[in-house]
């Protein structure tokens, strides 16, 4: 196979040179994640670059940007303090999104199947086109089937020269231990809300009030904050919270209708924003869980500045007075369980009926309302 053929192969389904990202200016352009950046620079300083990494952490906190910055720095002709110069030929190729030795492997449907892994194994057997390092990023590595993961073990253990593999996942526990043990672990941490708030205002030109709200509800993920801003998430969230606020006043039958309406929305919008780009059921459950967290915080004497849903402060204060702590904790537990159940079984109808009726009942037993 000549180099042209190999280059074309990288554009085949499942390969995407950038996973749709604009290449970052290098490590210096990534918000936070100082420990991860320091570790990767140290790796380069040691001149003994391990060949397999596992980047862990919630979506949107900079794992892909860091993988790209690492690939840029490794291939840069004139790196500056182990960061890419941004000017040399390979940096410019990254800038145009056409560096030939950066591969992104994404799930097709729900999985990264065995055929895809066989393609990667074959592809990595050829020398990198640029003569430097080929960096192959496996996104959502947890979606490798057991068969795929096993077929990837040998490559992960000892990839052909010049290849660096970066697996990305939220939690390493979602991967087979045999995969995890072959990788250098690089954990990525959620960022403080204050840091995200400042970044949204200064770098994205978002107004202070919206930036403040986004920084609270994005769970420490700047990427998530941006997606929320751009996808109409804030309007969705408001509707979801209003639905939750109405729930205690509903009869069982009305609560059942609400649960079915939630499940119907899920059919339209997909499971969550990470997968479909649209706010989905898991996002709604997370918003509801944060609501209960805020109720608990207020019940325990917490102040407004520690709330997630700062724009609903008055509602939260009024509602928390009607709940007892046990009911709030039961709500949080039910919502956490619902998120787990939906991820595992995808039987959204059943999970939602169980959860919504449970919340409806809990609000009544807590003395929140006598209306049934
Ligand atoms: Zn460069």
CATH number at residue 171: 3.40.50.300
Q: C-alpha 171: how far from its chain's center?
A: 10
Q: Residues whose CB is under 5 A from ligand 1 (ion)? A: 76, 84-85, 88, 91
Last residue of a domain, one of 170, 187, 204: 187
Q: What is the pLDDT of residue 278?
A: 63
Q: What is the pLDDT of residue 125?
A: 92
Q: Ligand 1 center to residue 16 CA distance, Å? A: 22
Q: Distances in Å between the alpha carbon of 1 and those of 11, 121, 159, 362, 369?
A: 15, 15, 19, 65, 72
Q: What is the pLDDT of residue 323?
A: 87
Q: Ligand 1 center to residue 105 CA distance, Å? A: 24
Q: What is the pLDDT of residue 15?
A: 35
Q: What is the pLDDT of residue 244?
A: 92
Q: Ligand 1 center to residue 118 CA distance, Å? A: 32
Q: Ligand 1 center to residue 72 CA distance, Å? A: 7
Same structural domain, 180 and 261: no
170: helix, strand or coil: coil
Say if residues 180 and 144 touch (Cβ distance below 8 Å).
Answer: no
Q: Distances in Å between the alpha carbon of 146 and those of 45, 63, 95, 190, 275?
A: 35, 24, 36, 29, 21
Q: Ligand 1 center to residue 104 CA distance, Å? A: 21
Q: What is the pLDDT of residue 343?
A: 81
Q: What is the pLDDT of residue 16?
A: 37
Q: What is the pLDDT of residue 282?
A: 85
* 268 in a structural domain: yes
Q: What is the pLDDT of residue 131?
A: 82
Rounded to whole angstroms, the Cα distance separating 292 from 307 reads: 11
Same structural domain, 219 and 255: no
CB under 8 Å to 256, separation ≥6 — which residues? 353, 356, 357
Q: Ligand 1 center to residue 169 CA distance, Å? A: 28
Neighbours of 294 (CB within 10 A): 26
Q: Give one DSSP letter per residue of 92-137, joined into a string.
A: HHHHTT--TTEEEE--BTTBB-HHHHHHHHHHTTSPPTTSS-EEEE
Domain count, the chain: 3
Q: Where are the alpha helices (DSSP H) in the chain?
A: 3-9, 34-45, 63-75, 89-95, 114-123, 146-157, 177-180, 193-204, 208-217, 222-230, 233-246, 252-269, 273-276, 281-299, 313-322, 325-345, 348-365
* 109 in a structural domain: yes
Q: Ligand 1 center to residue 80 CA distance, Å? A: 8
The ranges of the chain with pLDDT < 50 are 1-20, 369-372
CB under 8 Å to 231, separation ≥6 — which residues? 273, 277, 278, 279
Q: Ligand 1 center to residue 31 CA distance, Å? A: 20
With 0-12 / 13-18 / 19 or more C-beta atoms within 10 angstroms meaning exposed / middle / buried, residue 146 is exposed
Same structural domain, 199 and 343: no
Same structural domain, 39 and 175: yes
> What letter does residue 163 receive in the DSSP assignment?
E
348 token code pair: 């959204």
* 284 in a structural domain: yes
Same structural domain, 118 and 172: yes
Q: What would you measure as the largest C-alpha separation in the chain, in angstroms?
A: 75
Same structural domain, 257 and 244: yes
Same structural domain, 117 and 264: no
> Which residues on adjacent β-strands are paired with residue 138?
105, 167
* 370 in a structural domain: no
Same structural domain, 209 and 248: no
* 180 in a structural domain: yes
Which helix (DSSP H) or strand (DSSP E) does residue 54 occupy?
Answer: strand 52-56
Same structural domain, 223 and 237: no
Query: Which structural domain range is residue 202 located in?
Result: 193-230
Q: What is the pLDDT of residue 336?
A: 92
Rounded to whole angstroms, the Cα distance separating 22 from 163 reads: 22
* 371 in a structural domain: no
Same structural domain, 117 and 206: no
Q: Ligand 1 center to residue 100 CA distance, Å? A: 15
Q: What is the pLDDT of residue 269?
A: 61
Same structural domain, 276 and 222: no
CATH of the domain at 354: 1.20.272
Same structural domain, 238 and 209: no
Rounded to whole angstroms, the Cα distance separating 141 from 180 reads: 11
* 358 in a structural domain: yes
């Amino acid at each position: 196979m000549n180099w042209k053929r190999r280059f074309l192969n990288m554009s085949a389904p499942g390969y995407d040179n950038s996973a749709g990202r604009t290449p970052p200016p290098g490590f210096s352009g990534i918000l936070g994640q100082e420990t991860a950046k320091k570790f990767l620079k140290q790796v380069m300083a040691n001149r003994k670059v391990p060949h397999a990494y596992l980047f862990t952490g919630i979506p949107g906190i900079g794992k892909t940007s860091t993988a790209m910055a690492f690939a840029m720095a490794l291939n840069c002709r004139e790196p500056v303090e182990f960061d890419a110069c941004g000017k040399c030929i390979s940096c410019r190729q990254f800038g145009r999104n056409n560096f030939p030795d950066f591969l992104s492997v994404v799930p097709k449907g729900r999985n990264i199947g065995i055929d895809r892994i066989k393609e990667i194994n074959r592809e990595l057997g050829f020398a990198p086109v640029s003569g430097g390092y080929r960096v192959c990023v496996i996104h959502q590595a947890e979606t490798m089937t057991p068969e795929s993961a096993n077929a990837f073990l040998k490559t992960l253990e000892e990839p052909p020269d010049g290849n660096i593999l970066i697996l990305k996942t939220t939690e390493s526990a979602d991967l087979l231990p045999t995969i995890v043990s072959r990788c250098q672990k690089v954990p990525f941490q959620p960022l403080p809300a204050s840091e995200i708030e400042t970044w949204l205002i200064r770098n994205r030109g978002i107004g202070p009030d919206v930036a403040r709200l986004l920084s609270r509800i994005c769970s420490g993920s700047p990427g998530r904050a941006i997606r929320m801003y751009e996808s109409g998430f804030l309007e969705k969230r408001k509707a979801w919270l209003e639905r939750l606020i109405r729930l205690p006043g509903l009869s069982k039958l009305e609560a059942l209708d609400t649960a079915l309406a939630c499940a119907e929305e899920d059919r339209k919008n997909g499971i969550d924003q990470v997968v479909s780009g649209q706010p989905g059921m898991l996002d709604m459950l997370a918003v509801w869980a944060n609501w209960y967290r805020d109720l608990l915080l207020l019940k325990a004497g917490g102040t407004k500045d520690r709330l997630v849903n700062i724009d609903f402060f008055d509602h939260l204060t009024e509602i928390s007075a009607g709940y007892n702590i046990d009911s709030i904790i039961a709500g949080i537990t039910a919502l956490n369980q619902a998120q787990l159940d939906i991820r595992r079984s995808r039987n959204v109808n059943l999970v939602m009926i169980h959860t919504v009726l449970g919340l409806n009942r809990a609000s009544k037993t807590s003395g929140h309302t006598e209306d049934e």
